[in-house]
Structure 1
Amino acid sequence: MSKKQHSLRDLHPGQSGRIIAIEGTGALKRRLIDMGLTPGCDVFVRKVAPLGDPIEINIRGYELSLRKDDAEKILLEN
């Protein structure tokens, strides 16, 4: 069975996936990695704001809010 690849932005509340890559370069990529968003980590989407931005995820046992533009750079497989 093949695994589907998509971005964190595509997930809805209650869905999860495993990080396979962080796109981009520079300060944004470094900031995302420093927050614990590293390849191999499981991510669970807890909720999405009423207007769709930001999204709240659970990673490594803590909650983290991300803008959808940043979440788009995080590639997942489920």
Structure 2
Amino acid sequence: MSTLKDIKCGQTVNVAKVDGVGAVRRRIMDMGITRGCEIFVRKVAPLGDPIEITVRGYELSLRKSDAEMIVVK
């Protein structure tokens, strides 16, 4: 499976699981990124950091390090 970091601009994916431990995992889940939710990748910065996504009807920017913890299918 791939991570959210590997997804190209304009693609829609579903979250398979959220890796990570402790506060970082909790912060990602508090943003609405949970197993089974749909994510649309809106924009990717020229150097790949940050990534702008649409999740649950709102826009969100994620760092590459956080996007690596989100496994998608």
Bucket of the pairwise TM-score, normalised by the shorter protein: over 0.9
TM-score (normalised: structure 2): 0.96
Query: Structure 2: how far apart are the matches of 1:15 and 1:76?
Result: 11
TM-score (norm 1): 0.90
Any gaps of 5 or more consecutive residues in structure 2?
A: none
Q: CA RMSD in A?
A: 0.6
What SS is found at the alignment partner of 1:58? strand
Please say if 1:73 is aligned against 2:69: yes
Partner in structure 1 of residue 36 of structure 2: 40
Please tell me whether residue 24 in structure 1 is matched to residue 29 in structure 2. Answer: no
C-alpha separation in 1, matches of 2:7 and 2:65: 13
Question: 1:40 deviation in Å?
Answer: 0.6
- Larger-gyration structure (1/2): 1
Runs of 4+ in structure 1 over 4 Å off: none
Aligned mates of 1:32, 1:6 — CA distance in 2: 17
* Aligned-pair identity (%): 58
The residue that corresponds to 1:59 in the other structure is 55
Total equivalences in the alignment: 73
